[in-house]
Structure formats: structure tokens, C-alpha cells
A and B are shown apart, each in its own frame.
Chain A
Amino acid sequence: MKAPFSPYLSGIKGGLQKLLALLRQDYDYVSILATDSKGLSVRISQRARSVSSETMTTERGVVVRVYRKGQYSEYALNEFDPAAPEAAAEQIRAELKRQEETLEAVGAAVYETAMLPDEPLTLFVEKETGELPESSDVKALVERLSALSARGMTLGEDMLDCILRAQSTHICKLFLTENRDLSQSYVYSEGNVAAVASREGRTQMGYEGVSGLCGPELFSQLEHKLPRAVACAEELLDAGRIEPGEYEIITSPEVTGLIAHEAFGHGVEMDMFVKNRALGKEYIGKRVGSELVTMHEGALCAENVTSYAFDDEGTLAGDVIEIENGILKTGICDALSALRLGGEPTGNGKRENFEHKVYTRMTNTVFDSGDDTLEDMIASVKRGYLLEGMESGMEDPKHWGIQCIIKLGREIVDGKLTGKIVAPIIMTGYVPDLLGSISMRSGDREIFGTGGCGKGYKEWVKVTDGGPYLKTKARLG
């Protein structure tokens, strides 16, 4: 079925167009993004259960962007009355004027920027979905997750809890300018199993997730993830500590995705180029990785949780080759940063929600596959680790440092897995060293979309990342 576009947004569209026309009398450029995204979230553990209609991306509101004399301003509101656009226009004018008076009083200069182009475009997209979160059978879902939680408890000897989480969001967005009229509706879902095991005062969690550009029908896949999550939690209870040092490593697709995201995902967000905060700006056209490194980024790269038709500035979704055979080709860019840098936007202007500013943000960030097998890769390691499961990462675009917190490492000695496990692992290093050492890549690849991404320490958005198994070298602690 098609995910139907929001009747609420259709209902206020006329009022928003009037608001736009009213504001155009005072401003040279006006755009409006209106959102109405509904969701379903179910969380089941052994001792606590919850149902909510809120997810990370549910929202309803309007954000107006205006431009005058080189300056961009925005006003976010969630009480727009389509019958009274004059009142909203007056409110917006008055409050932005107060801000300008404050800025003038402190003598603030303006980072003058050209006006955004406004090429005519009309688009109406309703993507396919199996079910909708707002009309899903919640009773059946609660029963299914409860049964899985109960079954998970029987799969391990030390299980403390088995937590199932299922979230689905129906995104609807409307973008208007004088010449643009874009509407999109799509559903994405994500679910995970968190198995918690405890023994002799030590507690560990194994985690497995699923995600996709689809409705709650996705959650049937959680059953297959259950045994692996439980096994991971139990294994972690027996894990030892790693001896710090530099090792040959093989990264699982999940860890590969984390590297893609932290290494050159954040590193080529071009709003950071405007601020001179990213070293990548000086490396366009230069080598940053081995010949085996090719990396794509864009909403069109994969069908997953952030595969929209247009971004939050009305730029159509793209597919950018950031690194090709080890050479940094280009970055990703929101519309204002593109104006400031003299380039083209890539469809990566995203907001946490209508209340937040647009930044250049990632969508799907993925390493290309190769033609090695995992068996050959393991056989080639003299002494090292197969790294599995991601906890978190932190970018450092200015200095190209990288921090990845990884769930566990499986020891490899003389080309064989020894069965010994170490955890947790902190992988640190210099990005070009890490990517420059990539010597093998598997033929398969996976993409993961259950996490969120912050810009620094805030501005959370959905992203996915992934790739194949990679063999490289890294410093582990």
C-alpha cells in the first residue's frame, strides 16, 4: 500500500501558502516546512511494558525560513491557524524584529549570504509500506514481543531481562516556496532485542537490531535476532580485557558502518567546511584511504530509515561518492552551506525536527563491498581481533582522530579464531592511517539503522551506515 499523505497538512496547505505570500511582502525569500509524523512505540521487558505514540521523529509543526539583506532567520511554531495567516505573519515579523533590535544593540554583524535559488518544482511522493504505525494491530504486537521476551529468558542461563523495542514512524512533510510545492509520505521502522545477563555481580547486554523503509511488518524479523542477542550477553560475561596495542583487525559490517560514519561521514559535512572546522576541505582530490576504499552517502543509497525523497530544505535526495578508490572526491552539503561555498546542495539538509535548525547531516553512509571472503580474511590475520557490535563513536573532523566503542573482539591467532573474547574495546587512531591500512573487504554488505546521530552532542537525527567486513589495522584499548 501507499503511505497516505497527511490530511492535516493538506488541510493547512492553503493557509500556509497565504502566510508565504504575506511574508514575501517583507522578505526576498520565504520557505515553509510543515510536518505531521505519527508513530508507534512498544517496549516490552520482563518487568515493565509501555505503549506510546511517540518516537524520536514524531512531530507536528511549522518552520518558516525568511531571507532579507543577506540574513536568514527562522520561526518555528506549532499553533498555526490556517484561517488566520495574517496573525501568524504579524507574529513572525514582530518577534524577528525584536531579535534584530537585540542584535543591533550588541553590534552583531551578519554573515552575508546570497539568496537561495527557487527553481520551480512540484513533487508528491507516497512510498510503499506494508502497514501504518497509526493503524497497526498493537495488541498483536504486544503479544508477539511479550512472547519473544519470555522466550529470550529461556535461551541463556544467566538472563536477567530480555527487552524488546519496536518503533515505527509515518513521516509526512510538506515544503513550500513561491515556486516549489513538495510533499512526501513514507514509513520507516526499527526494532531491537536487548538481552541482559548477570552473574556474580557482573552485568552485560547483548544487542541486535532491525530497520527498514517499511511499516510494523518489519518486527517479524526480531525473532531471528533473539538467539544472537542472548548469546552475545552470555559471552560477554566471560569476556576478558584486551591487552592495549595495535592489532590487525577485521571489522564486522556494523563496526565498518561505525567507521564510515565517524571517519568520513562527519568529516565531510560541508557546513563544517564553511566554519573551517573540517580537515577534509583541504583533502578534496587527495588520497585518504587505500585503493579498496569507496564510500557512498545519500538518501538514495539505500532503502532504510532515512531514505526520503527530499530533505528539510526542499532539495531532492541524492547519492554522492565521497571517496573513490581511496581518493576524497567531495562532501555532502545543505543548501545554505552550498551557497556559501559556491557549490551545489546534495540533499543532506536535515533538522532534528521542525523546531531545530538545518545542518548538513548524513543519511545512508556505506562502504562499497569487495570480493574477499570472511574466511580468507580471518586466515590472513597473524594476531588480531574480529570486532563485532557497536556501542558509540565520536567524530573529530578537525584533527581526524576517531573514537569507536565496540562491543567485543574475538581473538584471531595464526589465521584462526581462538574462542577467546575481549570486551569492551575502545578503538582510537588517525583516520587516514585506519583507512589507509584497509587491505581486504568482503563481498557482502549490511546496513544498520537502529541508532541516532548527534552533531557534536545534540541535534539527533536518524541515519544508517554499513558496509562489508574490512581488514585493517587499529589501536585497541
Chain B
Amino acid sequence: MLNTIVELLNKAKVCAWSVTAQKTRGWEFYFIRHALDQNRVRDVEHFTVTVYQQIEDGKYVGSASAELHPTSSPEEAAALIDSLAYRATLVKNEPFTLVPAYEEEKESAAPIDTAAIAADFLSTMKSLPETETEDINSYELFVSEKTTRVLNSNGLDVSDRAAASMLEVIVNARRGGHEIELYRAFTSGSCDAEGLRRELVKAMATGRDRLQTRPTPNLGKADVLFSTKAACDIYYFFLARLDAANIYHKFSDWQPGVPIAEDVRGDKVSVRTLRSLPNSSANARHDAEGSRVRETLLMEDDVPQRFIGSRRYACYLGLEDSFIPGNVAFSGGTHTEEELRKGPYLEAVEFSDFQVDDMTGDVFGELRLGYWHDGEKVIPVSGGSVSGSMFDYLKAMEMSAAQTQYNRFLIPSLTLLRGVTVTGAEKEE
């Protein structure tokens, strides 16, 4: 099918084209407790085609895209490409170029054994040290081999093949007639049995704590320590504001060489893209457009060094060697755990859905489990919410030097935001 598409595109009256072919061979298993609810196979291939047209002698470039199905007849495919060629003349954008052809680095293609990866996950789940009071409610496992090939009219032809896994687990803990649940999701390449077991054992302990929570007190402004995966959303804020599209659209006003905040009293953040991280599902030689993935410093000590993003916006901003980042490391923490855990603070562990809006800077999340460290005791709390603005927190944010990896993000293990609004769950008098 791909050959037919390329042949049709070469004949089409367009100034440029690109095609992404993504093949997925996936296995899925759904369990209720440890009994199989359903097993599934995904065996699909998707072709996404984009065509480009020059408008007004190259003053503008237009584009239009569509998925071309593998079951499309040659006539259907030709008609779709014709229609895209017309539609591309209707939208005027600033001109840009596609990724140029380059010689692909040779990499040994290790075989991916989906069955073996799935078996590792399933065996690990069966071997967890469950008890009468803490156990696994249900889980869903997705293991796949994904092959992505990107071609364009510049002669680019690159491909990546990788294993991608996702395990979603619901953990229960109960005491008396009261039962709670915790949600955990693990995204990775293959199965890290030891890490998975460690995290799920920790989740069961967290479940025990959640059973004995009190309503979160009305703290007004408090220091909040993030010690779990939710902190990734804090760090994604930095990455999004360094994204070329957000810069171009003026949704981010950060500038190269200009500090992102003034009078910073806390730690300063550095951001670096990485080619690979251990067992990350984002390990790839190329991004979705075929650009080569590199190790690049994006921000150093709160000062943006360069922006990054898709080819189109990189062209608009004049960025060389840009790409859509996969793995990213965030650093700059100078503190030990002991230093960050001084004084009264709320440790936020579980949220309903923690969010950081990269455009407005708004931070919010309902607290499902936290630990209120009042200086003497540690009290498990739940309910209420944390909220505020990242732009306020930048000045006094503190981080641990130690780092933790959450799939494609390597972030400080502990992040302390000062002066966060904590709306309690205690009943008002």
C-alpha cells in the first residue's frame, strides 16, 4: 500500500508531500482481580498523508491531511489525494520546508517478543504480595510492537521500531467495612518487573494510609511537597513554554537568554532533551516527522537557551536541528530530602487529576491523599484542593538534587512549591 501511496503522491500536482506509516501489533489483557476478563489483539496499519501547495508564488504554503486506509482501492486513494491537493490551496500559512533527507544511523534491530513481554508483566502481577486488606482490584495490560516509517518528497525515508507497554492497575485497601482504591499507570518499553513490584507494594502501603485520613485542614497558604508522578505536570509546564508553536502563537512569552522569573530565591530549573532513557517508551531515533532526535539543552538555570518543536514552527522561528522532544530531563535541584522536609508542609501524594495550565500558569488538583507534616506529627489527609499559579511559584521553587524517572521524564524526586492555596475539606463552623 505504501508504494501505491508514494507513487500517487509523486504524480500528484502538489509542491510537497509527507507520509507516516504506523504498524501496530498489540496484545491486550484485561483482568478482574486475577481472572481474565478479556484478551484482545490489535493488528493494524495506519497511513497518514499530508500534501502541500504553494500559494501566491510561494508567499504562502497550504496543507491538507487525511488517513488513507490500507483497504482503500487505488481509485479511492487517487481521489483522496486529488481532494487533498485542492483543499491544501484553501489554507494560507507562512511558508516552511519539510525535513530534509539524511542518512539514517544504522542500529541493530533487536527482535521484539510481544508474548514474552506480556508474560513478564502477567507473572509479575501474579507474584505481588497481596494481603487480606490490600490487593489488586483489576488491571489492564497493553503490549505492542510499533513500527513507524516516515517518508517525504525531499527523499526522507526513516523508520523506528520499538516495544511500547502500558499497565493500568487499580489497588484496593480495606479496613472494617471501608474500602478505598488507588489508580496507577505505568508506561514503558518492556516490563521492568522489579520496579513494577516496588511501586505496587508502595501503592498498597499508600492505600493503608488513605484508610486513616482526616479531612484536609483549611491551611490557607502552605508549602506543598510533590513526591510522586503528579510532579511531571509541573515540569511539563516548562517544556510546553519552550515549545516553538507556543512561542510562535505568543502563548508563551519566554525569550532566549532572558530569565523566566525575576528575584528567584529558590532553585533554578534546567531542561535537556535526551535521546534515550532506560526502558522509556519514547526511545526513538526520529520524531513523528522524521527529524533526528538529539540531546539538546533547552533551558539552563531558568534561562531559555533555545526553543524546540515540530518542523513547521521550527522553520518559522529559524531553529536549526529541531525536533519534537521525547525523553526530557529536568534538573537544577540543590537540596537533600532532609532539607526539603523541614518545617510544616503538606506532602501531596494522590490527586483526582492534578493539572498545570501551561498558558495561564494555573495549578489545580483535588487531593485524594496527602500527609500534613505539622512540624511534630505526620497526619494522612484527604479531600479539598491545592491551587495557585506557576508564575508565582517559580520564584521560590525548591527541588531535590536526586532524580526519579517516570517513563520519558527524568525529574527531581522532590519538588517544593511555596505559598500554595490549600482549600481544606473540614466542615466550616
Residues of chain B contacted by A95 (CB below 8 angstroms):
41, 43
Q: Could you tell me which residues of chain B, from 24 to 44, have a CB within 8 Å of some CB in chain A?
A: 27-44
Is A29 positioned at the interface, with any CB of B under 8 Å from its CB? no
Of A53, A77, A476, most buried by chain B (CB within 10 Å of CB) is A53
When distances are taken between beta carbons in the complex, the residues of chain A under 8 Å from B352 are 394, 396, 401, 403
Pair B32/A111 contact, Cβ less than 8 Å: yes
Please indicate the chain A residues that have their CB under 8 angstroms from the CB of B250 in the complex. Answer: 160-161, 198
Q: Is the CB of B366 within 8 A of A52?
A: no
Known interface pairs A52-B64, A53-B65, A475-B425; A203-B115 also in contact (CB < 8 Å) = no
Chain B residue, CB-CB nearest to A45: B249
Chain A residues with Cβ below 8 Å from B46 are 78
* A475 / chain B contacts, CB cutoff of 8 Å: 384, 423, 425
Q: Which B residue sits closest to A354, measured CB to CB?
A: B44
Q: How far is the CB of A235 from chain B (nearest CB, A)?
A: 14
The answer, among A76, A110, A161, A274, for a CB contact under 8 Å with B249, is A161
> Within the assembled complex, what's the spacing in Å between the Cα atoms of A223 and B161?
46
**What mask results when residues 390 to 429 of chain B are scored 1 for a CB within 8 Å of chain A, else 0?**
0100000000000000000000000000000111110010
**Given A75-B41, A79-B70, A355-B42: A426 and B64 interface contact (C-beta under 8 Å):** no
Which of under 10, 10 to 19, 20 to 34, or 35 or more describes the interface residues of B? 35 or more
Which of B33, B93, B137, B423 is most buried by chain A, counting CB atoms within 10 A of its CB? B423
Contact between A355 and B353, CB atoms less than 8 A apart = no
Residue of B nearest to A8 (CB): B71
Could you give, for residues 250-275 of chain A, a 1 whenever the CB lies within 8 Å of some chain B CB and a 0 otherwise?
00000000000000000000000011
Query: Size of chain A's interface in residues, with CB distance under 8 A?
Result: 84
Q: B102: CB under 8 A from chain A?
A: no
Q: How far is the CB of B28 from chain A (nearest CB, A)?
A: 7
A66-74, A173-181, A209-217, A362-370 - interface stretch: A66-74
Which B residues between 344 and 391 are near A, CB-CB below 8 angstroms? 352-353, 355, 357, 359-360, 362, 364-366, 368, 383-385, 387, 391
Q: Is A477 positioned at the interface, with any CB of B under 8 Å from its CB? A: yes
B138 in the interface (beta carbon within 8 A):
yes
Task: Let me know if A73 and B71 touch, CB within 8 A.
Answer: no
Least CB distance from B319 to A in Å reads 17
Q: When each residue 160-181 of chain B gets 1 if its CB lies under 8 Å from chain A and 0 otherwise, what string results?
A: 0000000010100000000111
Inter-chain CA distance A477–B251, complex, in Å, is 25
Q: Is B339 an interface residue (CB 8 A)?
A: no
B91 within 8 Å of A (CB atoms): yes
Alpha-carbon separation in the docked complex, A49 to B61 (Å): 10
CA distance A108 to B268 in the complex (A): 49
> Which residues of B have CB within 8 Å of A45?
249
Residue of A nearest to B69 (CB): A60
* B328 proximal to A (CB < 8 A): no
Q: Is B126 an interface residue (CB 8 A)?
A: yes
A198 neighbours in B (Cβ, 8 Å):
250
Contact of A275 among B32, B38, B365, B391 (CB under 8 A): B32
Answer yes or no: A57 CB below 8 A from chain B CBs.
no
Segment from A97-105, A301-309, A321-329, A461-469 that makes contact with B: A97-105
Closest B residue by C-beta to A355: B42
Docked Cα-Cα span, A51 to B70, in Å, equals: 22
A382 within 8 A of B: no
The answer to whether the Cβ of B119 comes within 8 Å of any Cβ in the partner chain is: yes
Residue B3 CB within 8 A of the other chain:
no
Are B355 and A392 in contact (CB-based, < 8 A)? yes
Whether, in the assembled complex, B63 has its beta carbon less than 8 Å from a beta carbon of chain A, the answer is yes
Nearest opposing residue in chain A for B423, CB measure: A477
A456 with B385, Cβ < 8 A, contacts A49-B93, A76-B40 known: no
Q: Which B residues are CB-close (under 8 A) to A51? A: 63-65, 87-88, 90-91
- Could you tell me the distance between the alpha carbons of A383 and B354 in the complex, rounded to whole angstroms? 29
A244 contacts the other chain (Cβ, under 8 Å)? yes
Tell me if B64 and A477 are in contact (CB < 8 A): no
User: Which residue, of B37, B84, B126, has the highest number of chain A Cβ atoms within 10 A?
Assistant: B37
A49: chain B residues at CB < 8 Å are 62, 91-93
14 pairs of residues in contact across A and B, judged by CB atoms under 8 Å? A44-B91, A51-B90, A98-B115, A99-B39, A102-B122, A106-B119, A110-B36, A204-B360, A276-B137, A396-B352, A401-B352, A424-B360, A426-B366, A475-B423
A76-B43, A105-B119, A426-B366 are known; give 20 further A-B pairs, CB within 8 A: A51-B91, A53-B64, A53-B67, A61-B44, A76-B42, A79-B43, A91-B43, A102-B27, A102-B115, A102-B118, A106-B123, A108-B35, A110-B36, A244-B423, A274-B32, A355-B42, A424-B387, A426-B385, A477-B421, A477-B423
